[in-house]
Amino acid sequence: MTRVIATQLLLTLRRQRTFLALLVTLLVMTALAGLIGWISHRTIFKVYDQAVLLLAKTGSPAPPNPFDTRPTLALLSNMVIYIPLIGALMALVLGHLSLADDESSGIGRMIFSRRVSRRNYVAGKMLGATTALAAIMAASLVVSVVSLLIVNGAILSAADLGRLVLFYLLSLTYLMAFALVGMVSVLLTRRRSMALLLALGVWLVLTFAIPQFTSGLRPTASLNPITDPVSTSQTFFDVTARARPLSVSEQYKEASTRILEIGTAESVSATTLRILPTGGLVLVLAALTVLLVDRHDYSRSSAHE
Amino acid sequence: MADPAVEMRGVSHRYTSDPVLRDIDLTIEQGEVFGFLGHNGAGKTTAVNILTTLLVPSAGTARVCGYDVVADRRKVTECIGYLPSDVRLYDHMTATENLEFFAKLSGVSDPRKAAAGTLDYLGSSDLGPLRMSTFSTGMRQRIGIAQAIVHQPRVLFLDEPTSGLDPTGVRQLRETISRLNGELGMTVFMNTHLLSEVARVCSTIGVLNHGELIYKDSMAKTTERFPNEASLEDIYERMESRPA
């Protein structure tokens, strides 16, 4: 039964225009991330070459190009921003669509008048959503590899490919949290529009509000992978700095930059600790979804007497 | 002797403080076409929700095909088909895909064959490859009935099946119900407001008034009992106006 429910969800998603539009946007952004990385890389090298020429004219020795040692995957650094923005939004819509039809059109009543248990149903929905997100992440991985191949003119090393796969696995976990937010919001509200608004509200809080607060209210913090806040003796900033581990979005970005080797180096255990809040959130939301489906009154999904 | 198709004993239900169903005792034998009449809010849909295992009654016991709707939920779901009012299936899927999906959920061994066979039986094979989003109310209703019978249930529950249908749709539905009962031997439990259809299709009727079953008998005996009434509407109004 779980597989039947999951297959139906995948078939429906494949035909949803809203979902397809978000998917295409994410894939285009993946390709753009490579292109933007390549353009900035080329600009920096041009500036360096001009500086070398100027130094040669004055007879000064040219220092080595500091960007020569930049990791290959640094070209994809913008993906660390696109996933929490566009990817999370797409996952949210996916989670919403997974349950909204069954809820608003009364299909749930027909499903549960069959020999389907609530557990099978929710497991099927989660399996379908995870499969859809995994397929999207796999497509994004392929686009990333091809972009890097075109830009660098060389095949990725096994280590870099491994890092890229790890990054997309982390992203899959992160997006699953938002898919579950989409599902939970449908189960908590009676109206479809309210469910979407609630989910968007949670996305805004997790993506913008909490990172802003936990990074000492620095205006660019919600968009860029950030370094530790400037040390300060003020209590407020001390509190916000201590709350940072709770910011799932920030922890995802920081863990991603470490995996892609574009952030300050740290131990594997430290990076693993950064992943824990995302994993924890997924587990909590999954348990909440199961509980809500178990207790949901599907007999009232359309007008009753 | 075979178990009754539907049996309710002392069934009551309340959503809040006010009871929606009060101490219902009802038996429907196999092979009957039962028309469940009552005004809006009388509790008809609640009764169907209980019998289709969607709702656990606050008190009493209900059995379908001999199985308890709470204790033997799985067994009950295997022998029933259900068409809710205002039916809507998955719009992005074709009629055939929808039917195959529901056949799989019912554990049908060959869902494709079952879906094609059901569409053919209802004379709606032409709708199979079309997406539900393109369908009119009448077409949706036909596919709705198809999903309810795709696994060949013994008891079919129809909740306000004529709502939104034009006269042709109502006539087609009436013919379908008669065929399902006559040819396949299905017991049909139908909630409806359309009294003229009840008179033409049903073998037994029940009247629910503010959650209480105030009348239940065969159509033949009903017309015998109320010989001076001109139509079923008159009988219905007279029964409802009697003190509960």
Q: How far apart are the first and last CA of chain B?
A: 34
Q: What is the pLDDT of residue A284?
A: 94
Quick: pLDDT tens for A237-250. Answer: 666 666 666 678 87
Give the CA distances from residue B113 to residues A278, B95, B117, B118, B242, in Å, rounded to whole numbers and listed in that order: 45, 14, 6, 8, 51
C-alpha neighbours within 13 Å on the C-beta side of residue B28: 30
Query: How near does any CA of chain B get to the CA of A85, in Å?
Result: 27
Query: Can you give the length of chain A in residues?
Result: 305
For residue A301, what pLDDT is reported?
Answer: 58
- For B57-87, the pLDDT digits (tens) are 999 999 999 999 999 998 999 899 999 887 7
pLDDT confidence bin for B240, thresholds 50/70/90:
low
pLDDT value, residue A302: 45
Q: Where are the domains of chain B?
A: 6-241
DSSP state at residue B131: B
How high is the pLDDT of residue B114? 92
Does residue B155 surpass a pLDDT of 90? yes
- CA gap A100, A106 in Å, rounded: 10
Q: How far apart are CA B80 and CA B48, in angstroms?
A: 11
Q: What is the pLDDT of residue A224?
A: 56
- B103 to chain A, any CB pair closer than 8 A? The answer is no
The pLDDT score that the predictor gives to residue A184 is 94
Question: What six digits make up the tokens of A264?
Answer: 């300050």
What's the gap in Å between the CA of A4 and the closest CA on chain B?
7
Give the residue from B68, B7, B64, B19 showing the smallest Cα distance to B43.
Answer: B19
Token pair for residue B120?
């053919």
- How far is the C-alpha of B76 from the C-alpha of A57, rounded, in Å? 91
User: Higher pLDDT residue, A15 or B164?
Assistant: A15
> What b/e readout covers B111-141, taking b as 16+ CB neighbours within 10 angstroms?
beebbbbbbebbebeebbeeebeebeeebbb
Nearest to B92 among A16, A111, A297 (CB): A16
Task: Report the residue count for chain B.
Answer: 244
A216 to A24, A204, B11, B240: CA distances (angstroms)? 35, 18, 61, 70
Residue A82 phi/psi, 5° resolution? -65, -40
State chain B's mean pLDDT as an integer: 86
Distance from CA of A173 to the nearest CA of B (A): 28
Binary contact (B90, A109; C-beta < 8 A):
no
Q: Which two tokens stand for residue A210?
A: 């909490």
User: What architecture does CATH give domain B6-241?
Assistant: 3-Layer(aba) Sandwich (3.40)
For residue A159, the model assigns a pLDDT of: 85
Residue A148 CA to residue A75 CA, distance in Å, equals: 8
Q: What ipTM is given for this predicted complex? A: 0.85
Closest of A288, A102, A212 to residue B88, by C-alpha: A102
In the block, residue with structure tokens 């976990």: A173
Query: CA-nearest residue of chain B to A117?
Result: B74
Binary contact (A110, B84; C-beta < 8 A) = yes
B40 close to A (CB below 8 A): yes
CB pairs under 8 A between A and B: 84
Closest approach of chain A CAs to the CA of B105, in angstroms?
A: 6
Helix axes A17-57, A88-104, angle to 10 degrees: 180
- B46, A101: Cβ pair inside 8 Å? no
Residue B50 pLDDT: 93
Q: Which residue has the higher pLDDT, B32 or A261?
A: B32
Which one of B45, B87, B90 has the shortest CB-CB distance to A101?
Answer: B90
A304 touches chain B (CB under 8 A): yes
Using a CB–CB cutoff of 8 Å, tell me whether B109 touches chain A.
Answer: no
B190-233 residue pLDDT tens: 998 777 777 788 889 888 888 888 888 888 888 787 766 666 66
Alpha helix positions (H), chain A: 2-14, 17-57, 79-82, 88-104, 107-111, 118-152, 158-188, 192-204, 210-214, 235-242, 248-259, 268-295
Contact B30, B200 (CB under 8 A): no
| Run of H or E including B68 | strand B67-68
pLDDT digits (tens, 9 = 90+) for A175-186: 999 999 999 999
Give pLDDT < 50 ranges for chain A. 216-217, 219, 302-305
A303 reaches B (C-beta below 8 A): yes
